[in-house]
Amino acid sequence: QSALTQPPSASGSPGQSVTISCTGTSSDVGGYNYVSWYQQHPGKAPKLILYEVNKRPSGVPDRFSGSKSGNTASLTVSGLQAEDEADYHCSSYAGSNNFAVFGGGTKLTVL
């Protein structure tokens, strides 16, 4: 099972919006509505910010939103804030034999 493809980096200025893509195949992203996104600050454990493509766990600001089209899922961060600077990882369910696959991660820089 190959990793999902994410751009290595993304950036935006405070207040702007930025979108990060996550591309898989019909065996993972395209086959299920089970895509999650994680935020990870340096030296910290990942934090779940979206699941089932576009659902937010309690406490996650609505500035974080998700979508999916075909084999590509996307995370949009609106109204960028300094504390949004972090690594973002996507994951997808990949069936009962492989279960889960992650992307390579995207480093988001707030300019």
Residues within the interface to another protein (CB under 8 A) = 1, 3, 6, 32, 34, 36, 38, 45-48, 51-52, 57, 89, 91-94, 96-105
The rounded distance, in Å, linking the Cα atoms of 58 and 40 is 17
In angstroms, how far is CA 96 from the centroid of its own chain? 22
**Cβ distance to another protein smaller for residue 14 or 41:** 41
**With respect to another protein, which residue has the nearer C-beta, 8 or 83?**
8
Of 37, 26, 46, nearest in space to 67 by CA: 37
Least separation in angstroms between CB 96 and another protein: 7
